[in-house]
């Protein structure tokens, strides 16, 4: 079974440009999460989808970030316009339906975003 | 606010040495506790988890962790490390009311093993 995949693996853009990151969760996983790690710091939660609905977006840094999950499958995270402080590694994770037992979050390889 | 503290940023050990990585969290309610590991060039993966029951949990590759509720701690241990344990280790929690909620991570501990 394929794991969580993310595209691209690395993106280098200039300040002010737009970048869109994509995450494909494990097939059948209703929960999809985005996290970010700024260099040297902790991995921070950005938001959580349950199917196509945003369950928790408390970690989104500002309105330059837009996450979507149309159809409840893959998700995109758009940064527009990008700023220098947006540089970091963006991780996506997915887990199954929260049916009472623990649902492990499986992580993708991450997208390394560099804003120059 | 919930937070996780990892005591060491970088730990360097020789092979066969014993390992203990400290982790403390701040959250007053029931929590689920985790250690994740990221080997060089690989995905973040779950090493072990604590939900309830025996506070001493065993994970993959000979790792174990002990939950001490009174100390809000969840330290990771391994009696004898190997060169292949070189990786970054993350302690993490999520609130116990929902296993599908967000995970809060510590800043990570980089472990380097000298052959």
> Looking at the DSSP assignment, which residues form a beta bridge with residue B76?
B21, B65
Of the candidates A59, A54, A77, the residue with the CA atom closest to the CA atom of residue B1: A59
Residues of B in contact with A3 (CB under 8 A): 43
Digitized pLDDT (tens) for each residue of chain A, 116 residues in all: 689 999 999 999 999 999 999 999 999 899 999 999 998 789 999 999 999 999 999 999 999 999 999 888 999 999 999 999 999 999 999 998 655 556 788 999 999 999 99
Q: Check B43 against A101: CB less than 8 A apart.
A: no
Quick: pLDDT tens for B11-63: 999 999 999 999 999 987 888 899 999 999 898 999 999 988 899 999 999 99
- Give yes or no for A95 touching B (CB within 8 A): yes
DSSP B58-93: E-GGG-EEEEEGGGTEEEEEESS--GGG-EEEEEEE
Quick: pLDDT tens for B69-96: 999 999 999 999 999 999 999 999 987 6
CA distance B89 to A15: 32
Give the minimum alpha-carbon distance from B90 to chain A in angstroms, rounded to a whole number: 9
């Amino acid at each position: 079974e394929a794991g969580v995949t993310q595209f691209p693996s690395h993106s280098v853009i200039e300040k002010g440009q737009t970048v869109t990151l994509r995450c494909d969760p494990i097939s059948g996983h209703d929960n999809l999460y985005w996290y970010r790690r700024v260099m040297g710091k902790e991995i921070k939660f950005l938001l959580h989808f349950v199917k196509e609905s945003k369950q928790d977006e408390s970690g989104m840094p500002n309105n330059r970030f837009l996450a979507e999950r149309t159809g409840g499958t893959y998700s995109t995270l758009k940064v527009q316009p990008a700023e220098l402080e947006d540089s970091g590694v963006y991780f996506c994770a997915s887990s199954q339906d929260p049916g009472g037992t623990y649902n492990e979050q499986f992580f993708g390889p991450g997208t390394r975003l560099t804003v120059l | 606010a919930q937070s996780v503290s990892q005591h060491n940023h970088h730990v360097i050990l020789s092979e066969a040495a014993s390992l203990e990585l400290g982790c403390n969290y701040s959250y007053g309610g029931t929590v689920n506790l985790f250690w994740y590991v990221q080997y060089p060039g690989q995905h973040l993966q779950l090493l072990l988890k604590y939900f309830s029951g025996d506070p001493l949990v065993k994970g993959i590759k000979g790792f174990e962790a002990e939950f001490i509720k009174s100390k809000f701690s969840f330290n990771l241990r391994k009696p004898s490390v190997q060169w292949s344990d070189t990786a970054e280790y993350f302690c993490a929690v999520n609130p116990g009311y929902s296993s599908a909620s967000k995970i809060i991570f510590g800043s990570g501990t980089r472990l380097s093993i000298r052959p």
